[in-house]
């Protein structure tokens, strides 16, 4: 019987894929732990565990459903140099006449799978992942390489295309965007009302032992019991939990940040869904997530208001699909972009959290603890600091790619190199997301616990972000001067007395020269 080898990558755990509609003994499914995947960047241990545990659970589920599955661990694949070497060996061993794969979401893997040489007589066939809402073939119509596309316009077209939150051809409630209503701060007292996050206790001790046995390099807090969902059932429970307990306040506190206190277990995730890992590995389909949230909204009879549901839909239907489009339209050049010529090394405290800057200490500390930070922590705390300090976007990308449980290059890179670092010169957003201590003071309670004074711009106790902000704006004046969204900032800088400007710039320079000791 002619045999087909079908590859399932670690982020292709889509039980609803048409591949699995019927069983076929002539098809072998391959799910493999590989050193090329543990080693392409320096990963958080919880990220590797979440991927490996989910792959194992998926293999078990396929096996139970009657499919022929080869689930290989690092012990089985250690002798193979890379994925092509493994595929070739298996094709020869089983006399495969066909090798099939789903189109990878990552450029690196797509090139590898399209280009390696198969054994003679073995054909290669590429399938769609059947996951994204915008068909891969339509990316070219929506995005042009090297050209800015406005996410807001893209999002509106997606709302119309999928008839989501629409009244005829008008947006429900008369507005497309409720962002202005979604900027609330959370106080320490309000933290008590935030529901404790639903977490899981998946045993991953055997995986951690395997990583040790094979000398796989990793960092972050290792826990033998993993809190991330690793099965479709767990992912669905997390989705239900979100719709019931968190969606009613999702948009309202989307941008809020709050420092951890001893014993509190809610401050790290607040009203965020923590669904990104489950969606990115395709245990959940984005439309399934949107449908569940819309159903909860309709059921709630006003308890969940329009601003909350619109805020959530925009993330999945808008941002997630948008960054994927930017990635594919602009790769491989995108990975080389460094529009602001940033070259500084990433400070060592990004790997330890050991810094006097409370905002960074909290955001990095929780990232090391949970392999998770919510969007505003990624954008406005760690990302903002790297932007202001001019850290090399290659190093920033590698850090984000390694530390977060949901990090895959197609979504990590446009968010980091693009939205956060402006290294793409403005393909994701029209302005740099730069901020001083004021922003942190407005959206978090970090500053109250900090050794630095958020109200001061100069002096040795002044908040480093304040002077770094003006140093950044000053050294990139040529780039941002004529940006309509930033012009006002230069006008207020120009009104400042020159000696004050010089003192701020001197403090900013001192912070850059002593960046590792801040
Ligand atoms: P929620 O706040 O609950 O949002 C709901 C869902 O919307 C998310 O699960 C996600 O699927 C989607 N979403 C929200 N914002 C974005 C966005 N900007 N881009 C794409 N999808 C979005 N997201 C990743 O999935 N992987 C990454 O590697 C990643 N790296 C990032 C790096 C930086 C510098 C920044 C600023 C953002 C990054 N994001 C990334 C986007 C976003 O921060 C995460 O998707 C989100 O924090 C995941 O947590 P959540 O599931 O609780 O999200
Ligand atoms: Fe961060 Fe400055 Fe606030 Fe300290 S004072 S937490 S460094 S913004």
Express each pLDDT in 289-324 by its tens digit. Answer: 999 999 999 999 889 999 999 999 999 999 999 999
- pLDDT of 484 reads 82
Distance from the CA of 99 to the center of ligand 1, in angstroms? 33
Atom of ligand 1 nearest to the CA of 379: 36
Helix (H) or strand (E) holding 429: none
Q: Give the residue among 87, 108, 96 at the shortest CA–CA distance from 39.
A: 108
DSSP structure class, residue 21: S
Q: Is 257 in the pocket of ligand 2 (CB under 6 A)?
A: no
CA 362 – CA 319 distance, rounded (Å): 26
Q: Please report which residue ranges of 390-518 form alpha helices under DSSP H.
A: 393-403, 409-413, 437-443, 464-475, 477-480, 487-494, 498-513
What lies within 8 Å, CB to CB, of 452 at 6+ separation is 356, 357, 358, 437, 461, 462, 463, 464
Ligand 1 centroid to Cα of residue 272, in Å, is 10
Pocket test for ligand 2, best of 355, 380, 461, 464 (most atoms within 8 A of CB): 464
What is the distance in A from the centroid of ligand 2 to the CA of 468? 12
In the reported structure, the alpha carbon of residue 379 is separated from the centroid of ligand 2 by a whole-number distance in angstroms of 15
pLDDT value, residue 378? 98
pLDDT < 50 positions in the chain: none
What is each CA distance from 271 to 244, 312, 376, 386, 450, in whole angstroms? 11, 11, 12, 26, 24
Separation of 375 CA from ligand 1 center, angstroms? 6
How far, in Å, from the CA of 277 to the mean position of ligand 1? 9
Maximal CA-CA distance, the chain: 83
> Is residue 220 within 8 Å of residue 366, measured between CB atoms?
no
DSSP H or E segment with residue 14: none
Task: Point out the ligand nearest to the CA of residue 361.
Answer: 2
Which residues, at least 6 apart from 88, have a Cβ–Cβ distance to it below 8 Å? 116, 117, 118, 119
Which among 197, 310, 411 is the best mutation to test ligand 1's pocket, defined by most ligand atoms within 8 Å of the CB?
Answer: 411
Q: Which residues line ligand 1 (CB under 6 A)?
A: 272-276, 279-280, 315-316, 319-320, 323, 374-375, 378-379, 383, 400, 404, 406-407, 411-412, 415-416, 419-420
pLDDT at 1: 59
Q: Which residue has the tokens 């770094």?
A: 468
Which ligand is nearest to the Cα of residue 375, counting in written order?
1
Residues 468 and 343: their CA atoms lie apart, in Å, by 16
Structure tokens at 72: 């290989």
| Ligand (nearest to CA of 447) | 2
User: Which residue shows structure tokens 């489950």?
Assistant: 278
DSSP secondary structure string for all residues of 501-516: HHHHHHHHHHHHHTGG
Are residues 463 and 456 in contact, defined by beta-carbon separation less than 8 angstroms? yes
Distance from the Cα of residue 280 to its chain's centroid: 9
Cβ atoms of 242 and 248 within 8 Å: the answer is no
pLDDT of residue 2: 64
Q: Whose CA is nearest to atom 2 of ligand 2?
A: 463
pLDDT of residue 483: 85
Ligand 1 atom with the shortest distance to the CA of 312: 5
pTM exceeds cut of 0.95:
yes
SS (H, E, C) 160-194: HHHCCCEECCEEHHHCCCCHHHCCCCCCHHHHCCC
Distance 408 CA to ligand 2 centre (A): 30
* Ligand 1 center to 382 CA (angstroms): 14
Task: Report the separation in Å between the CA atom of 504 and the middle of ligand 1, taken as the mean of its atom positions.
Answer: 34
Give the pLDDT of residue 91.
Answer: 96
In this structure, the residue with its CA closest to atom 42 of ligand 1 is 375
Burial of 14 per CB tally in 10 Å (0-12, 13-18, 19+): buried
């Amino acid at each position: 019987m002619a045999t087909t080898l079908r590859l399932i990558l670690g982020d292709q755990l889509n039980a609803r894929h048409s591949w699995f509609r019927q069983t076929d003994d002539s098809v072998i499914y391959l799910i493999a732990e590989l050193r090329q995947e543990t080693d392409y960047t320096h990963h958080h241990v919880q990220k590797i565990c979440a991927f490996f545990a989910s792959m194992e659970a998926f293999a078990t589920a396929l096996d139970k459903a009657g499919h022929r599955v080869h689930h290989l661990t690092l012990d089985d694949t250690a002798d193979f140099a890379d994925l092509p070497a493994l595929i070739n060996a298996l094709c020869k061993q089983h006399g495969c006449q066909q090798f099939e794969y789903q189109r990878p979401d990552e450029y690196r893997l797509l090139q590898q799978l399209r280009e390696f040489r198969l054994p003679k007589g073995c054909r290669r066939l590429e399938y769609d992942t059947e996951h994204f809402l915008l068909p891969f073939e339509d990316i070219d119509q929506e995005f042009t390489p090297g050209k800015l596309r406005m996410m807001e316009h893209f999002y509106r077209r997606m709302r119309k295309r999928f008839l989501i939150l629409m009244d005829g051809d008008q947006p429900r409630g008369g507005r497309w965007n409720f962002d202005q209503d979604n900027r609330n701060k959370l106080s320490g007292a309000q933290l008590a009302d935030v529901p404790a996050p639903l977490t899981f206790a998946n045993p991953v001790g055997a995986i951690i032992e395997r990583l040790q046995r094979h000398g796989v390099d990793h960092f972050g807090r290792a826990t033998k019991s993993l809190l991330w969902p690793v099965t479709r059932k767990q992912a669905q429970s997390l989705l239900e939990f979100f719709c019931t307990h968190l969606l009613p306040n999702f948009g309202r506190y989307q941008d809020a940040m709050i420092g951890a206190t001893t014993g509190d277990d809610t401050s790290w995730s607040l009203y965020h869904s923590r669904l990104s890992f489950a969606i990115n590995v395709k245990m959940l389909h984005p439309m399934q997530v949107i449908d569940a949230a819309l159903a909860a909204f309709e059921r709630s009879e006003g308890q969940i208001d329009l601003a909350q549901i619109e805020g959530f839909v925009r993330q999945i239907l808008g941002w997630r699909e948008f960054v994927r489009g930017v990635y594919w339209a602009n790769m491989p050049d995108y990975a080389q972009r460094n529009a602001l010529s940033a070259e500084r090394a990433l400070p060592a405290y990004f790997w330890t959290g050991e810094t006097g800057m409370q905002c960074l200490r909290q955001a990095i500390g929780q990232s090391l603890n949970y392999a998770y930070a919510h969007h505003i922590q990624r954008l406005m705390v760690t990302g903002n600091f790297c932007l202001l300090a001019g850290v090399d976007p290659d190093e920033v990308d590698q850090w984000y790619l390694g530390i977060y449980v949901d990090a895959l290059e197609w979504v990590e890179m446009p968010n980091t190199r693009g939205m956060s670092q402006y290294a793409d010169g403005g393909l994701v957003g029209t302005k740099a997301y730069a901020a001083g201590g004021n922003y942190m003071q407005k959206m978090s309670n970090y500053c109250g616990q900090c050794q630095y004074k958020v109200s001061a711009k100069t002096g040795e106790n002044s908040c480093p972000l304040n002077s770094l902000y003006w140093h950044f704006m000053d050294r990139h004046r040529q780039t941002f001067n004529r940006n309509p969204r930033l012009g006002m900032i230069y006008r207020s800088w120009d009104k400042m007395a020159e000696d004050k400007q010089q003192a701020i710039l001197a403090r900013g320079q001192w912070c850059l020269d002593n960046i590792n000791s801040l």
